[in-house]
Chains A and B, each alone.
Chain A
């Protein structure tokens, strides 16, 4: 599996439904990626901040995207293709 570490700030469009956050698209390097599936979510902490992690698929590639709940910053952490 080829995994690339990206770790860059991105813009994300997300839907907040009840108490669930569902990212729908994000823009990275001028290109818009439509998310077809949120495959997994998990949480951890970075310092005092809670961070939500999302594994997202656009149909070809799996992206790991994080949302820092203190700074409200979205980051594209990794992408991987099998």
Chain B
């Protein structure tokens, strides 16, 4: 373990020097170094296997096999989740635990911004208010929501706005999500649109503001940990829900129960947990998480690492295209003689859909088009699978690259650097080893 940490430090500081020191390879003018001789042997020794496609590994690239993490311990949650922060509680799901088509509650990521509230005994008695630019302000109990409005139930992607943040270099500020700040659970609830219509939005209403019952980390009851909102059109989307159940069970406290918003395909922070109020506004919302560089990305790219106050940035609304390999697992050891593997995973693209997923086992030299399903319903993720050939024993990385319905593909490195690291949607990479 000590050695891994040393390597890690070296790579964070100066990746090209690390390559020279550790593996003896020089970056070419095109920034691709070639592993050979002693370097290839050294990297092979660190991983514990030969690397059949080693000559194609980009310079300054720390093989995914050398990562490290810590586990979550929480009742009802899978012990394989990785703890990113204990106060506020934040945990992500390693990709191989996201293999299910519908994410079980135990495996769904957690992102809290404030202190976690005490669980509520009588969920049906929980009250939410609809106010602001409406003709009839409403106060509704959860029990009434169920009886007054049609109930909808469907799997939809919920994803933290910062998913993929660790891809940014220089490091962006915030929770260090890899690719596991995402899940596709079945959400049950009523349409926010139906409830807003019951209140009657005034003609001037253009934006929502969401409020929850969690306490700010400082304990100040007058401060909200987070309060975001969306354009009215997104609030009126028939798939935007006030959800009271997750995978057929009452919504657990840790996931925002008794009720939360589900604003599918958009930054998770819009899906307010412990929801107690939605206010319609005649202008963009300005609560915590709406201003500065929070949940905002540059319109015109800025220099990576530059200081910026976020003026002129746009609000990150729809999440970008992403794909993850859920099998084989990162770090899987395959039996000697294995030459064919099935790779599978999911792909999603915020408000858009995914047109294609390609996978590679030779560091992107060649790609194989995967079979891809259509979404089960709007905002459900799509599943892909492909058979791949491994020519020899040794170390491989499975790379996945999606293309969205507008023809955009995932990039090799995180695009559009921004201070808080939103939109990192580089290829997902998984390390596997075929035993000699």
Task: Say whether A associates with B.
Answer: no
| Interface positions of A (Cβ within 8 A of B) | none
| Interface positions of B (Cβ within 8 A of A) | none
